[in-house]
Chain A
């Protein structure tokens, strides 16, 4: 079904979406979206697909728990905030704080992502969230990362550094994959172990790279044409000695 979102306030729009899902709709196409917040927020239903045409507002797919969302344009700040399950595909750029405190599911962004992407993402038992970004990222990529996987591909860089400054600051779980050259100045090795990805580590993200390639028209071959670096925390308590304990 289709919903024309032009001029509809976010609250009514999200009510219409939830109502449609409640009626058993599994494919919802939103037209003329422009700035409405919380689209897909807390939405359930593993078989539900939402296609967003236009620019959705902040906190898209926040707390989402199962559905698949395709944004055909850019997404604003805070998408996949505390998302629990499901898949988000952004066919343009995404803003700041993508996947803040994300707990499960996956986010694939074709283009660039903003600042603080994957901040305090976490994993628990079988829940392990993944964010794959096809372009570059701003500062604080994977800040306080507690679990899950961030992958930054830099397929298009538009003259920007692959990753911004303070990458992985405070990381204490999970892993960050960087494809191709990056500026080591942006990755402090005080708390981060840096190594080239081995076959097992590449195997671990193969499905996520395939999903990226399929969604956005790349081939796995071009994605794998550059070596990947993996960043991991040296400790699960990087600041354990900062305030109280004597090192």
Chain B
């Protein structure tokens, strides 16, 4: 690409791009890199990242713990903790290459691990992983587990997203779901842990916007043992999704109704189905502190699919497209044309209503 970047102004707004092959066909990490490069000007070089699903077939049954360490001591303490609770099948440096524009990397390690035993009969494997992530991120200074799902992984840094993709050699990975993010931080400083995606277990979120309700959401999540340690508002989004979907058993659609509930005037419409209205009212009341207020467009990856989702009044852009078994979602249509030459259908999703691409059951089972 013959680009000469214009450094004289910030034309801003984070950029998102994502794709899913419903049939589980693998796509090279080169594709999301090129898509997010098209959205270069939406970021400002202060953060970016990717999440890929299906990328670790050799360790598909292990939790892939991606970890950044800012000191050797942080690594020692974390590894002591992990060895106490997990069987570690394999651990290694996350492969990177020296890349212009990416500097001062923390130590990047990944562990393919399985909880050795759960701490109580009611606690599942996933709870053990979640508690370990919270404990490391909160209690061990300079250690952060930034990705903890099975057969998936997040790759993030400070820099421009396409450079970050090269740094992590993502063209060497293949996945059936990818999300990508170019960051334009507005409220907090740029650091590696604060870049997107934000992940817990198999959930990952990349986000364009800002969460005005961060304080309320964070206090609410603390009651359920989630600790916000990464200094970026988007962190609450992934923990809310884990709470609502994994722990409370809500469907993805219903979790979206919680994050961006219909306005009261919509619930009160005379032609609204009474049962539907009762459900929506109950969700709003029960989960008032889980409502995410403020402008957002997110891509939410998980082990069963990909979700694109907007705030209720469309304060951030989002476009979707389909081709055969592929679903593409992005901040701008141009990035979709990088991922897919001639989509069958391009449309703008309705604000407050998720676009969901499900993996076929043959892929997830």
Contacts and interface: CB of A to CB of B under 8 A. Distances in A.
Interface of A: 7-12, 34-35, 37, 54-55, 57-58, 74, 76-77, 93, 95-96, 112, 114-116, 138-140, 185
B1 A7 contact: yes
Contacts of A114: 314, 348
A117 to B, nearest CB: 12
B25 interface: no
A34 B337 contact: yes
Nearest to B8: A11
Contact of B2 (A9, A37, A93): A9
A7 B333 CA distance: 16
Question: Lowest 8 A-B CB distances belong to which pairs?
Answer: A35-B334, A115-B314, A9-B3, A34-B334, A7-B1, A55-B333, A55-B334, A35-B38
A140 B348 contact: no
Nearest to B1: A7
A187 B346 CA distance: 28
B346 A58 contact: no
Given A34-B334, A185-B269, 18 more contacts: A7-B2, A7-B3, A35-B39, A35-B332, A55-B333, A55-B334, A57-B334, A74-B346, A76-B332, A93-B348, A95-B319, A95-B333, A96-B317, A115-B313, A115-B351, A116-B314, A138-B351, A139-B351
Contacts of B333: 35, 55, 74, 76, 95
Contact of A112 (B3, B269, B332, B348): B348
A76 B348 CA distance: 10
Contacts of A11: 4, 6
B1 A138 contact: no
Contacts of A12: 2, 4
B86 to A, nearest CB: 44
A225 B158 CA distance: 57
A8 B333 CA distance: 17
A114 B315 CA distance: 11
A114 B338 CA distance: 22
A19 B348 CA distance: 35
A15 to B, nearest CB: 11
Nearest to A94: B348
A78 to B, nearest CB: 9
A115 B333 CA distance: 16
SS class, residues of chain B in contact with chain A: loop
Contact of A95 (B39, B317, B350): B317
Contacts of A74: 333, 346
Contacts of B2: 7-9, 12
Interface string B319-338: 10000000000001111011
Contacts of A185: 269
A9 B2 CA distance: 7
B41 interface: yes
B38 A34 contact: yes
B314 A34 contact: no
Given A34-B334, A57-B334, A115-B351, A77 B4 contact: no
A210 to B, nearest CB: 28
A186 to B, nearest CB: 11
B262 to A, nearest CB: 11
Contacts of A54: 337
A34 B41 contact: no
Contact of B4 (A9, A58, A138): A9
A8 B11 CA distance: 18
A35 B3 CA distance: 13
B103 to A, nearest CB: 24
Contacts of A8: 2
A139 B350 CA distance: 9
Contacts of B38: 34-35
Contacts of A37: 11, 41
Nearest to B336: A55
A58 B11 CA distance: 11
B12 to A, nearest CB: 11
A116 B351 CA distance: 12
Interface string B328-361: 0000111101100000001010110000000000
Contacts of B338: 34
Interface in B214-268: none
B65 to A, nearest CB: 36
A67 B334 CA distance: 24
Contact of B335 (A35, A77, A112, A139): A35
B332 A9 contact: no
A114 B332 CA distance: 13
A9 B5 contact: yes
Given A93-B348, A115-B351, A57 B5 contact: no
A11 B333 CA distance: 19
A76 B335 CA distance: 11
A138 B319 CA distance: 13
Contacts of B314: 96, 114-116, 138-139
A96 B313 CA distance: 12
A140 B313 CA distance: 9
25 contacts: A7-B2, A7-B3, A9-B1, A10-B41, A11-B4, A12-B2, A34-B337, A35-B38, A35-B335, A35-B337, A55-B333, A55-B334, A55-B337, A57-B332, A74-B346, A76-B332, A76-B333, A76-B334, A77-B332, A93-B348, A96-B314, A96-B348, A116-B314, A138-B351, A185-B269
Interface in B1-59: 1-6, 11, 38-39, 41
Nearest to A73: B333
Contacts of A138: 314, 348, 350-351
